[in-house]
Structure 1
Amino acid sequence: MKTKGFATRSDEIGAPLIKAAPCLEIKALEKTGEFEGYASTFGGEPDSYGDVIAPGAFAASLSAHRAAGTMPKMFWQHDAREPIGKWLQANEDAKGLLVQGRLNMGVQRAREAYELLKEGDIDGLSIGYRIREYAVDTDTGVWTLEKVDLHEVSVVSIGANENATIGSVKAAKAAQELSDKLKAGDRLTEREFEMWLKGLGFSNSQAERAARVHLKGQGEPAAADDGLAFCRALLGR
């Protein structure tokens, strides 16, 4: 049974809720302190709080920020006493909440955060928000958050949502471009095919082996369906 309404959970009263997202791929972190990634992803499996976030959940809040000329704050570990930079852009796409920001390299804590991120010692983004509207499945206890006010996005050590990343968004974009190229019927070079597989989540060794065997041994794929069929075969699906 599903019910809908405005949030009344006791933990929603007072300080905003927080939700974290682990995993860092360092390609998205620049020497200038600029980085980008997904602070939250839509749908999928419930996170460790038993919640999923619906597409469009951030739309009203982001619109309000734009109208006011503001952005969610960037904090270190959700500590409002330790701002470490600023978010330059925050937008929803088909996957989730995509954020682009810049660490303030003139601040000691931001420099420390940069070094920790670069070495992979910390690996998370986390959102601080307040629930406005939700639907709850009383059979499973899963909350679907339909509208939230986004207050801040922090760099954190531990996260909850395995799909949202300070990640290689550039690699994901490249993979999408290569997928579009395949769909258009164009052929990929060995290097492009290898990059495409890595963007789909294959390991370096898998991608290199696939490119070597498939492209050299069998010729380049002529269309997206051929490439996808090969990927499924490689994964044993």
Structure 2
Amino acid sequence: MVIQGYASLWGAADLNGDVVQAGAFADSLAKTGAEGVRMLHGHDGRAVVGVWDAIAEDARGLFVRGRIMDWSPEARLAQALSRAGALDGLSIGYRTARARRQGRLRVLSGVDLWEVSLVTFPMLPGARFSLSRTPA
């Protein structure tokens, strides 16, 4: 099952007050590429549910495209929930490399991206995926 969407949006504050600046993922993606970023369900390291085929920064944010596989019960559950429209959120797992305070916000200008999870309730409400009609 192919999915795609935005795992992060430039300049949008998440529910924790973090804002990602355009270009924040560039160094990390240059080192690892999409193959170095895991697709998890709910940030659970034991629930690898697929693979990311493409991860790129564009004018809107961090775009991701990948495949939810059927290799485990967790992956099949993620497929079923996604197909039904019950799972459509994305959330990033990362280490902050560079950040600054701006009032109550923390502006992230450098992020080491480890994983992008499929989640029920994303910290950044606009971080969503949908089923893709184009092959990966």
Q: What's the TM-score, normalizing by structure 1? A: 0.53
In structure 2, the residue matched to 1:149 is 112
**Between Structure 1 and Structure 2, which shows a larger proportion of helix residues?**
1
Instruction: Tell me which of the two structures has the higher relative contact order, counting C-alpha pairs closer than 8 angstroms and 6 or more residues apart.
Output: 2
In structure 1, the residue matched to 2:98 is 133
Question: Aligned equivalents of 1:144 and 1:168: distance in 2?
Answer: 30
**Between Structure 1 and Structure 2, which shows a larger proportion of strand residues?**
2
The equivalences for 1:81-230 within 5 A come to 81-137=46-102, 140-167=103-130
Unpaired segments of 5 or more residues in structure 2? Answer: none
Unpaired segments of 5 or more residues in structure 1? Answer: 1-32, 171-237
For residues 112-171 of structure 1, the C-alpha deviation after alignment (integer angstroms, 9 at most, x for no partner) is 11111111222211110000101211xx2111100010000111111121222114787x
**Change in CA separation of 1:122 and 1:111 when aligned onto 2, cut-off 3 Å:** same
Report the more deviating stretch, 92-101 or 160-169. Answer: 160-169
* Contact 1:71–1:88 under 8 Å retained in 2: no
In structure 2, the residue matched to 1:36 is 4
Q: Aligned to 2:111, what secondary structure does the other structure show?
A: strand
Question: Aligned equivalents of 1:168 and 1:94: distance in 2?
Answer: 21
Question: Aligned equivalents of 2:132 and 2:9: distance in 1?
Answer: 13
In the alignment, residue 127 of structure 1 is paired with which amino acid?
I
Question: Aligned equivalents of 1:43 and 1:84: distance in 2?
Answer: 29
* Contact 2:2–2:131 under 8 Å retained in 1: no
RMSD: 1.7
Question: Aligned equivalents of 2:86 and 2:67: distance in 1?
Answer: 19
In the alignment, residue 112 of structure 1 is paired with which amino acid?
L
Q: What's the TM-score, normalizing by structure 2? A: 0.90
Q: Does 1:62 align with 2:29?
A: yes
Q: Aligned to 1:70, what secondary structure does the other structure show?
A: helix
* Contact 2:95–2:112 under 8 Å retained in 1: yes
Runs of 4 or more consecutive aligned structure 1 residues displaced over 4 Å after TM superposition: none
In the alignment, residue 37 of structure 1 is paired with which amino acid?
G
Question: Aligned equivalents of 1:98 and 1:37: distance in 2?
Answer: 6
Aligned residues: 133
* Contact 1:38–1:167 under 8 Å retained in 2: no
For residues 74-97 of structure 1, the C-alpha deviation after alignment (integer angstroms, 9 at most, x for no partner) is 111111111111111100000000
Report the more deviating stretch, 52-61 or 116-125. Answer: 116-125
Question: Aligned equivalents of 1:118 and 1:169: distance in 2?
Answer: 11
Question: Aligned equivalents of 2:52 and 2:131: distance in 1?
Answer: 17
